[in-house]
Amino acid sequence: MQEKLLEIKSGTLTLFVRWMVVILISWLVISAFLSHWSLLDGAPRNSLKLFLDGQSHRPFAYRILGPSVISVVDAMLPESVQNFLAEQVAPKFRARYVEPLMVIYEEWLPGIGQRAATDWNDPHYRRAYVLMVMLIFASFAGAMLVIRRCAHLLGADPIKSNSVMLLYAAITPTMFLNGG
């Protein structure tokens, strides 16, 4: 009986460590992604505002799926959580991921800073920005777990399954160079 209990505790610890590794790697990759792309605030063709309005020139996931998920989640959140996201979390994301890139974007797209500032005045936009970052993070973490599980189902041992997952995490940021 005690051996079975020890086996359960060991399995739970292994699962917890695996999840923590996936979350850490996901956050590092997504943080690096946002530091270089940052959802192109104020961009004339593919800004987050255009994604939310269903007018971006990007594929289905950006035009319909992402904004729909964000709208549904935002509507389900209590007002206190909505305010927290808009007033506490969004300014930190803006300071970390948006402001450093505005100088670079301004050279490429004159007036982008003004358009981005106008977007950021809207609390709904700030909440949507935070929720979009969280959606990107969750989808990347989920993709890592799916890839690991697929490798395992195809007969890879745990070390090889983890290696495939880490390879995916290492390659993914190269897919987002120059914003897409």
Q: Where are the domains of the chain?
A: 25-179
125/87 Cα distance (integer angstroms): 11
Question: Is the overall model pTM greater than 0.85, yes or no?
Answer: no
pLDDT tens sequence across 111-142: 777 877 888 888 998 898 899 888 888 888 88
Q: Determine the 3-state secondary structure of 59 from DSSP.
A: coil
For the ranges 27-31, 59-63, 91-95, the one whose mean pLDDT is highest: 91-95
